[in-house]
Structures are given as structure tokens and as C-alpha cells.
């Protein structure tokens, strides 16, 4: 939980499938948020909790810290332009922005130049792990930018992730994220095709996944569906491990 000196309100722009659980995680950790999303149905669950919400990213320019978690490059450009355009109405404070969406590194550099002209320091910090890990605060975050700027988000990232990597200058985090996705998606397609082949050969795909989970075929597809967690297969001749009660 952040201490009183570190309870700066955070503007969170984009509460979609990953942004929403990330925002809920920050609220659970005692953070004060200003939620911004153009979709009323995305804002509604937060408004119901008494969280301040806004439709226009310009409203977020009053906050010292802003997290962008929009869907794509076009949305990032529009949100960043609106955010920067609202600065005239906001207080004169030092502002930092973190781009946490998965977009092109070139787009982040472009947005960094736009926000830089408005006096905003920027880092890129894309995430990996999916909605379950986003809600649990166990994402991995790949960052790019100056270390002094990343330090401004250190405690925020600690609330969201179990591991945070610094990959180099601005845009490096996204370069690493895209390379990571290249391997991850390729493996997932291969796993899906393998399961289809197994089914055609009369094998039980669930049993095959269970075997692969404790063998060299272990991959994201062998995770327990809907949990993001690794299974502990009960193999023939073994019994499930009992846990001692928590005292």
C-alpha cells in the first residue's frame, strides 16, 4: 500500500479488458484514480464505486501522473493530443506519463515528442500476463526511458507487477514486448494445431496438455484455463498434495 506521501492521484486513460483490472488493482492498493474512457459502459463500474470518471482525456491533465492503456496507436495519438491540449486549464506541476499499451515503438517516440513539448516526461511500460494477472498485480512490465522518469512510477508499477524490467531508452520496452509477443503467439498457434492433431488421432487433448505441463512441451496453452496459473497434475501413482491450514 502506498504511504500518505505517495498517494498522488493517478489519471488512468483506457479501462478496457486489461486496463479495467489494472485500475481495480490500483484502487485495491489504496490509490486514488481519475478514470478516463470515451465509453460510458467502461466508466460506469468505476463511477458506481465513487471513483471520479471523465470522458475526455483533457480532464486528466490536472494530474501529476497519467497511465495510458488504450487499444491501439490511433487511440494513443488522440488521447495524448487531448491530454496535452488540456494542460492550459490545469495547475503548473511536474507531470509524468507512462504508455502501457502495446503500440509501435515509433508511435511512443512520436507521442513522447508531442508530450515533451508540453513539458511532460514520458516512459513506455507495456505489460504481459493477461487480465487475471492484471487483477492480481502479478503482471510483468517491460520499461523504456530515463531511469529518473521511471523512478516516478516505481511504486505504481510495484502495485501492478511481480517483475519490472528496464530495457533501455524510450521505446525499448515496447520493442521487447513485441518480440515477446512474436514468440508467445507463435507458440500458442503451434499448441492449438497440436491439440487439433491429437484430437484427430483419438487422444484426449486435456490429458495431453496435462502431460505437456510437466514435460518439455510446457507453454502458455497448458495453463489452467481462466486462471493464468500452472497446474499440479495428479499423475498415476501419486496423490494430490494436501496443504496445511493457514494459521
- Per the prediction, the chain carries an average pLDDT of 88
**94 or 144, higher pLDDT:** 144
Return the percentage of the chain with pLDDT > 70, whole number: 85
Helix (H) or strand (E) holding 154: helix 154-160
Give the CATH fold of the 4-171 domain.
Rossmann fold (3.40.50)
Would you say residue 146 has pLDDT above 70?
Answer: yes
**140 or 239, higher pLDDT:** 140
Any idea where the domains of the chain sit in the sequence?
4-171, 176-222
Q: Span 88-94, mean pLDDT?
A: 69
Angle, helices 172-200 vs 105-117, to 10°: value is 150
Contact, 13 vs 60, CB < 8 A?
Answer: yes
Q: Which residue has the cell 525499448?
A: 172
Instruction: Read off the pLDDT of residues 203-246 as tens digits, 9 standing for 90 and up.
Output: 999 999 999 999 999 988 887 655 555 555 544 444 444 433 33
Q: Span 88-102, mean pLDDT?
A: 84
- The per-residue pLDDT for 86 is 84
Contact, 220 vs 195, CB < 8 A?
Answer: no
φ/ψ (deg, to 5) at 93: -135, 160
Would you say residue 85 has pLDDT above 50?
Answer: yes
Non-local (6+) Cβ contacts of 187 within 8 A are: 219, 220, 221
Instruction: Read off the pLDDT of residues 114-136 as tens digits, 9 standing for 90 and up.
Output: 999 988 999 999 999 999 999 99
- The per-residue pLDDT for 247 is 33
Instruction: Read off the pLDDT of residues 20-65 as tens digits, 9 standing for 90 and up.
Output: 999 999 999 999 999 999 999 999 999 999 999 999 999 998 889 9
Q: What is the pTM of this model?
A: 0.84
Would you say residue 74 has pLDDT above 60?
Answer: yes
Helix (H/G/I), strand (E/B), else coil: 7: coil
What one-character-per-residue DSSP string does 21-64 give? HHHHHHHHTT--EEEE-S-HHHHHHHHHTT-EEESSGGGGGGSS
Amino acid at each position: 500500500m502506498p504511504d500518505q506521501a505517495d498517494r498522488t492521484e493517478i489519471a488512468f486513460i483506457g479501462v478496457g479488458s486489461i486496463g479495467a483490472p489494472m485500475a481495480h488493482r490500483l484502487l485495491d492498493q489504496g490509490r486514488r484514480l481519475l478514470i478516463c474512457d470515451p465509453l460510458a459502459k467502461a466508466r460506469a463500474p468505476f463511477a458506481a464505486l465513487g471513483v471520479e470518471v471523465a470522458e475526455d482525456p483533457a480532464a486528466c491533465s490536472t494530474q501529476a501522473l497519467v497511465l495510458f492503456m488504450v487499444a491501439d496507436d490511433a487511440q494513443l495519438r488522440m488521447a495524448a493530443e487531448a491530454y496535452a491540449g488540456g494542460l492550459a486549464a490545469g495547475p503548473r506541476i511536474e507531470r509524468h506519463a507512462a504508455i502501457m499499451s502495446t503500440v509501435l515503438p515509433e508511435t511512443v517516440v512520436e507521442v513522447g515528442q508531442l508530450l515533451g513539448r508540453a513539458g511532460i516526461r514520458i516512459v513506455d511500460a507495456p505489460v504481459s500476463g493477461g487480465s487475471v494477472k492484471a487483477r492480481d498485480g502479478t503482471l510483468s512490465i517491460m520499461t523504456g526511458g530515463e531511469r529518473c522518469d521511471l523512478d516516478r512510477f516505481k511504486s505504481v508499477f510495484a502495485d501492478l507487477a511481480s517483475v519490472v524490467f528496464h530495457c533501455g531508452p524510450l521505446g525499448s520496452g515496447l520493442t521487447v514486448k513485441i518480440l515477446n509477443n512474436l514468440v508467445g503467439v507463435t507458440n500458442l498457434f503451434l499448441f492449438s494445431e497440436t491439440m487439433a492433431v491429437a484430437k484427430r488421432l483419438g487422444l484426449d487433448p486435456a490429458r495431453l496438455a496435462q502431460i505437456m505441463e510437466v514435460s518439455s512441451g510446457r507453454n502458455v496453452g497448458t495453463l489452467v484455463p481462466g486462471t493464468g496459473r500452472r497446474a499440479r497434475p495428479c499423475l498415476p501413482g501419486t496423490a494430490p498434495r494436501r496443504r496445511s491450514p493457514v494459521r
